Amino acid sequence: MAEFDPFFIIPGEKKIRTMSSRAKHGYLGVTATWITSKFEIKDTMLENKYISSPHTSNIIANELHKCIEA
In a domain, 57, yes or no: yes
In a domain, 33, yes or no: yes
Number of domains in the chain: 1
Query: How many residues are present in the chain?
Result: 70
Please report the pLDDT score of residue 18 as a whole number: 67
In a domain, 44, yes or no: yes
For residue 59, the domain's CATH number is 3.10.450
The tens digit of pLDDT for each residue in 56-69 reads 889 888 888 888 88
The tens digit of pLDDT for each residue in 1-19 reads 556 777 777 666 666 666 6
CB 47 within 8 A of CB 23: no
Query: What domain range includes position 24?
Result: 12-69
In a domain, 30, yes or no: yes
